[in-house]
Structure 1
Amino acid sequence: MPSPSAAPPEPRTYPFSAVVGSDDMALALVLTTVSPEVGGVLVRGEKGTAKTTTVRALARVLPPLAVVEGCRFSCDPADPDPRCPDGPHPAATASTTRPARLVELPVGATEDRVIGSLDLQQALGAGRVSYEPGLLAAAHRGLLYVDEVNLLHDHLVDLLLDAAATGRSTVEREGVSVAHASRMVLIGTMNPEEGELRPQLLDRFGLTAEVAAPRDPALRAEVVRRRMAFDRDPDAFTARYADDEAELSGRLRTARALLPQVELRDDQLLLIAEVCAAFEVDGMRADLVTARAAVAHAAWHGRTTVTRADIRAAARLALPHRRRRNPFDAPGLDEELLDRLLGEDEPEPEPPQPEDPQPGPDDEGSEPADGSADPAEGTDAGSPAPPSGPGQGADARPPDREPGASSTEPEPEPEPARDQDGPTAAVVPTTLASAGTAYRTRLFTASGVGAGEAGRRSRAVTRTGRSVGAAFRPEPGGRLHLPATIRAAAPQQAARGRAGADVLRLRREDLRTAITEGRESNLVLLVVDASGSMAARRRMEAVKTAALSLLLDAYQRRDKVGLVTFRGSAATLALPPTSSVEVAARRLEELPNGGRTPLAEGLLVAAETLRLERIRDPRRRPLLVLVTDGRATSGPDAVARSRRAADLLRAAGVASVVIDCETGFGLGLARTLALHLGAEHVPVGEVAADQLVSVVHRAAPARPAQPQGRAA
């Protein structure tokens, strides 16, 4: 039986040497190919930047691989695995050569597809227990590629972490006990707007590269020109770059052969340690990866000695995702600090330049031509220019705001609310409170077992996850629970006429579908009173800080967080339900406050937002967090309208929490509002961030557990 996803790369794959504008990504892929011990590559970038195209093109230029003939686990003939399930392989066993393998791991793959499982054809047809290898076995000694790796389910991430840490994959399930070698180069691509990676998995990638669409119009035109030429005639386009591909493949083989001869001196190793310590990276893996990548970079350039240019190129790719940074800081590296730490590079021997009698008055034209690199040279990146993509430009982080005179003198009382609503009501005095430093929140989960979209927060019955039982559910799409199916069919075999070595006789009523339990994501909708009564600087700062912290936690756990604000005479959906930290940070930082209190409008906008989200995603459980002092001062019958809006939310079954921000001698307005909402009322004098998060922890809505049948 052929190994899964073992087909060689298609001949119509876009050539690796034809990719332009992704120099850092190309260099990182090359280095981890020269030295697989570097540990793989994570490519971060916006959509449409040829991340997947470049990774798939890499497989075409990889040197071929010698494997034991007939071994499903790609054992090396020179050093076969003594514990190979298809072994043991004798010393003189036959070998064969095949192309290097790029195995793609889909985000929605099941656990048994990744690690392997019982061969159903052998079990049900011949009655033998046989192991069918999974994707980890197919990727041994090759590349394992995960597109949108940040969307990979937690239980699959755990499997990858285990294989990456031990170099072996162990299967203990369904009567199968198998362990096999699984040493592969892990390559992942992701769009940061869709969420971050778990720190444990992030650290397993040796190198990381940031990619962005080029801003140079000429370069963008060249990208489009090449892609259109490839789409028009793939064979002719590929043939045009055949010599470049062959040269690149030969250079990779030469670099691999040269790698053991490259010398890394003790003083250079000490310099690498100083660089890693200066950037305050966690753990020692950064030092090791930087050293290995520097050696690979030297071999790639045909040198047997490591230079500071090699160390610089390695540090630029190995350190950005490992340095300590604030939660909302974009990843990146201070290259000026890196240059100061490395100092001047040793002069490399260069061929003598012929004397040019012309350099006199025309000096300004010759200098740039001598010192600038060809933008098409994506692999020669000893000292590449810093990328202009995310994390390096003006949008790397929200601007820090210095509190000015307007923010240091907030209006504590909503005196302007005494005026009548009119044309001047839109012109209200505003202040701007900055959020504090975001922090990691405690995990809050919905009680019970839900059935929402896969995420990382609350327990839920999902299509992927760990098997927790079995039920008779013959509808299509479910995963067969083989042991439960066999147990259900076994008592009926005699009545069905099975005798001796006959195959197992199954009927429809024997089939059992696995019940899998994973984690779901939730929607937390913050409805914040930004009127004059909330203008006290400490209150708004605490609210903003808590909102940013909840968003950070939701970003990591696949949740959605929305923000509705109301002030003046209207309410605004300031932040539609999202998982983008960068956008959310900017919106919350720029949130003004002041003016009257249109409480009813805020609740109605929240109700409409939840209604639309329920249509888009009916299984996601929402939680409404209302931060207010309960006052309603905008428009006629403001109090009555706000209570009617609260009744509407309660009738819709929205679980809610009211954070009462009224201080001093209160009127109990927020408590009355909580009764209309059917919400928990939490009197808080000042909305401290830790108090707000603890309230959300206590009040996450519960959903009754789904009935789960068990196999007899």
Structure 2
Amino acid sequence: MTPPTPREDAALAACLLAVDPGGLGGAVLRARPGVERDRWLSLLQAILPAGTAVRRLPPGVADDALLGGLDLTATLATGRPVQRAGLLEASADGVLVMPMAERLTRPTAARLTAGQERHGYAMLALDEGLEEDEAPPPALLDRLAFCPDLAEPPGPAPHGAAAIAAARARLPGVDSPEPVIEAILATAMAAGIVSLRAPALALRAARAAAALGGRDAPNAEDATLAVRLVLGPRATILPEAPPEQEAPPPPPEEPEAERPDDATDPTRGGQMEDVVQEAREVPLPAQLLASLAAATLRLRAPSSGRTGAERISLKRGRPVGSRAGEPRNGARIALLDTLRAAAPWQRLRPAPPRARVAVRREDFRIRRFREHSESTAIFVVDASGSAALHRLAEAKGAVEMLLAECYARRDRVGVIAFRGAAAEMLLSPTHSLVRAKRALAGLPGGGASPLASGLDAALAMARLEKRAGRTPLIVALTDGRANMARDGSSGRAAAEADALAVAKLLRAEGHSVLIVDTAPRPQPFATTLAAEAGGRALVLPQARAEVLAGAVRQAIGAG
């Protein structure tokens, strides 16, 4: 039997959703606006029962429009409070289409899911953010059964509106046999799905498929269809995948006494000369700085964003509602909210001459805005002899990748290097990506590793940026082999103690810190340093997987 194509599965998902919209929750359509998405929406609307409400969620919808509230016009006209229905109530037992679902905030998503449980509508999340860091809130996606493949337009609907109506009438009497439930649960566990809603949605999809087939209980084909459409897009592992082989143990670490000095090159037998290495490309997680800023600032600020800490303002930014207060010192009055606060009291208040509405001081509402503070990424690069000997070129490549991310996010960038006896500021905070790359390209490597001095310079720059109203983010790339203390004396123990002391200051002042371990083998001290700074540690990856695969293929071909 020929397996169904993605076009046929997309059409089947629309039919099942039309049978049980509220129970299946809806679907996420991850595609750009185009004929594929429009045809799927048209197909669904054509097989829904006549009179089904299909509403569209406006971008940035206010809570009163979403949940309902006071009808200001009718209230002022009648002199008594008149309530109006919100968008969620108007979508009851219908379909709510949500454009740009990847931009929905978590509070809005919470209101949508709570409204779905109360009013029973299906949600269609139009996810137009095809990047990895852009997606609707996970709590919303967890409640949507289907994610059809819209790489090409869906096929024709295998069931018409009459068959859908008959299946909807038959659905309440469809049973849920225990073997089907056990099979769906076992498949979800084997696929690595941890959500309990996913198998529940798959069971409802199997019941809807049975109702479409005129059966009183789902059979094996119905369960297979439900698993393919609901659990397939959520699978994190392949059930048939063989167990992974254990990695070989790492080679024994050299004794401390037998290690070459960090500032010397064993191949030359003497002091390592200053060398300038070109940046080498290395892989790093996508949107690393954005995810770090969001994770760290969420704990230290009222809220956080992609380009810096968010703060509430009364003068500029994105509107986020209103609060009680008087329009003074530049605050803007929220006229409609003020009228809504005054309207219910009009019968109890004598209206002034030539006035339609009596407004008192306690009725005033002022606008609130949310604005982002500008971010500054401070790169602290280890250019000591050990770093130059091992992975200075790859560290430069990592910084260049992060610089490109900073440019895309419109962040300011500062570069500090440390080697020899002290740290040096190569570039004061700037928006110029060209200047940052030029300063990095000419950075030589060699000498001792004064890690504490580098962190001291980063702390001083972070304090200045924070005082200027910007959000500093410190990214230190080091192999973790500090051997120069603050006072200029050599010795690993004193150098590491000084670095940990600066890390504690960074944590106490609430700075966001990322420690990137550039050593050939991960160093425990880098993890300890990140923990003391209250930040995150990241091991600089080795060569790309495709490079290694190419080398293997080349070796096989040569053999």
User: Shorter-chain TM-score category?
Assistant: 0.5 to 0.7
Listed one character per residue, the Cα deviations across residues 524-580 of structure 1 (whole Å, up to 9, x for unaligned) are 73635265657599999xxxxxxxxxxxxxxxxxxxxxxx98539x96243633899
Q: CA, structure 1 residues 277+156, in 2 after alignment: closer, same or farther (shift >3 Å)? A: same
**In the aligned structure 2, how far is the partner of 1:407 from the partner of 1:446?**
39
Amino acid across the alignment from 2:353 = R
Contact 1:527 1:602 (C-alpha < 8 Å) held by counterparts: no
Listed one character per residue, the Cα deviations across residues 368-390 of structure 1 (whole Å, up to 9, x for unaligned) are xxxxxxxxxxxxxxxxxxxxxxx
**In the aligned structure 1, how far is the partner of 2:378 from the partner of 2:32?**
29
1:317 matched to which residue of 2? 229
Aligned: 1:149 with 2:101 = yes
* C-alpha displacement of 1:113: 1.0
Contact 2:75 2:344 (C-alpha < 8 Å) held by counterparts: no
Amino acid across the alignment from 1:102 = V
Q: CA, structure 1 residues 691+310, in 2 after alignment: closer, same or farther (shift >3 Å)? A: same
1:201 matched to which residue of 2? 140
**In the aligned structure 1, how far is the partner of 2:234 from the partner of 2:166?**
31
1:126 matched to which residue of 2? 78
Give the SS at the match of 2:405. Answer: strand
Aligned pairs for 1:14-413 (under 5 A) are 22-43=7-28, 45-48=30-33, 52-54=37-39, 56-58=41-43, 60-65=45-50, 99-165=51-117, 167=118, 182-190=119-127, 191-193=129-131, 194-205=133-144, 207-209=145-147, 211=149, 213=151, 248-260=160-172, 262-282=174-194, 284-319=196-231, 332=236, 334=238, 336=240, 413=262
Q: CA, structure 1 residues 596+645, in 2 after alignment: closer, same or farther (shift >3 Å)? A: same
Amino acid across the alignment from 1:255 = A
Contact 1:407 1:537 (C-alpha < 8 Å) held by counterparts: no
Q: CA, structure 1 residues 662+413, in 2 after alignment: closer, same or farther (shift >3 Å)? A: closer
Aligned pairs for 1:581-592 (under 5 A) are none
Give the SS at the match of 2:525. Answer: coil
1:525 matched to which residue of 2? 377
1:419 matched to which residue of 2? 273
The structure with the greater share of residues assigned to helix is: 2
1:370 matched to which residue of 2? none
- In the alignment, structure 2 segments of 5+ residues that lack a partner are 266-270, 409-418, 436-442, 489-494, 516-523, 537-559
Q: CA, structure 1 residues 103+124, in 2 after alignment: closer, same or farther (shift >3 Å)? A: same
Contact 1:460 1:520 (C-alpha < 8 Å) held by counterparts: no
Contact 2:95 2:123 (C-alpha < 8 Å) held by counterparts: yes
Tell me which of 339, 353, 363 is aligned to 1:496. Answer: 353
**In the aligned structure 2, how far is the partner of 1:260 from the partner of 1:456?**
51
Q: CA, structure 1 residues 163+598, in 2 after alignment: closer, same or farther (shift >3 Å)? A: farther
Contact 2:66 2:86 (C-alpha < 8 Å) held by counterparts: yes
**In the aligned structure 2, how far is the partner of 1:111 from the partner of 1:458?**
21
**In the aligned structure 2, how far is the partner of 1:490 from the partner of 1:470?**
23
- In the alignment, structure 1 segments of 5+ residues that lack a partner are 1-19, 66-98, 168-181, 215-222, 227-240, 324-331, 341-399, 541-563, 581-594, 613-631, 698-712
**In the aligned structure 2, how far is the partner of 1:311 from the partner of 1:111?**
40
1:666 matched to which residue of 2? 485
Aligned pairs for 1:462-473 (under 5 A) are 463-465=318-320, 467-472=322-327
* C-alpha displacement of 1:157: 1.8
Amino acid across the alignment from 2:357 = L
Tell me which of 677, 686, 697 is aligned to 2:525. Answer: 686
Contact 2:15 2:47 (C-alpha < 8 Å) held by counterparts: no
**In the aligned structure 1, how far is the partner of 2:150 from the partner of 2:253?**
40
Give the SS at the match of 2:146. Answer: strand
Give the SS at the match of 1:144. Answer: strand
* C-alpha displacement of 1:188: 1.2
- Give the TM-score normalised by structure 2: 0.61
CA-based RMSD of the aligned residues comes to: 6.0
Q: CA, structure 1 residues 184+44, in 2 after alignment: closer, same or farther (shift >3 Å)? A: closer
Give the SS at the match of 2:353. Answer: coil
Contact 2:97 2:123 (C-alpha < 8 Å) held by counterparts: yes
Contact 2:71 2:82 (C-alpha < 8 Å) held by counterparts: yes
**In the aligned structure 1, how far is the partner of 2:73 from the partner of 2:400?**
59
**In the aligned structure 2, how far is the partner of 1:456 from the partner of 1:202?**
26
* C-alpha displacement of 1:115: 0.5
* C-alpha displacement of 1:32: 1.8
Contact 2:72 2:340 (C-alpha < 8 Å) held by counterparts: no
* C-alpha displacement of 1:186: 1.7
* C-alpha displacement of 1:184: 0.7
2:405 matched to which residue of 1? 577
Contact 2:29 2:147 (C-alpha < 8 Å) held by counterparts: yes
* C-alpha displacement of 1:131: 0.8
